[in-house]
Amino acid sequence: MAQRLHLVFGGELIDPTKTAFKDVDDIHVVGIFPDYDSAYNAWKAEAQKTVDNAHMRYFIAHLHRLRDEQAAASSTEELG
């Protein structure tokens, strides 16, 4: 069974209607999680801590989608 890793991260956005960070050096990496449920729980906990700041956003990135080991050339392989 393939691992389905998820990255939870967030930070302050320039504009709350967009997804550009105000300062990429200040991005908060919450962690990498082995499944969506645990990533979602971590995302929810961090998002609730910053609910009063409309410019703060947390995201879940599906790391397992970045590299498909079964495909001849995945998007990450094309970068090299």
Give 15-51 pLDDT, tens digit per residue: 999 999 999 999 999 999 999 999 999 999 999 999 9
CATH number of 6-68: 3.30.70.2400
- pLDDT value at residue 2: 66
User: How far apart are alpha carbons 66 and 77 in whole angstroms?
Assistant: 10
- Token pair of 32 as six digits: 């990498």
Q: 22 versus 76: which is more confidently predicted? A: 22
User: Domain ranges in the chain?
Assistant: 6-68
Nearest to 9 by CA among 26, 22, 17, 34: 26
Tokens of 73: 């050339």
**pLDDT, mean of residues 47-58:** 94
Please compute the mean of the pLDDT values over residues 72-77 and round it to a whole number. Answer: 52
pLDDT band with cut points at 50, 70 and 90 for residue 3:
confident
Number of H helices, E strands in the chain: 2, 3
pLDDT (0 to 100) of residue 4: 87
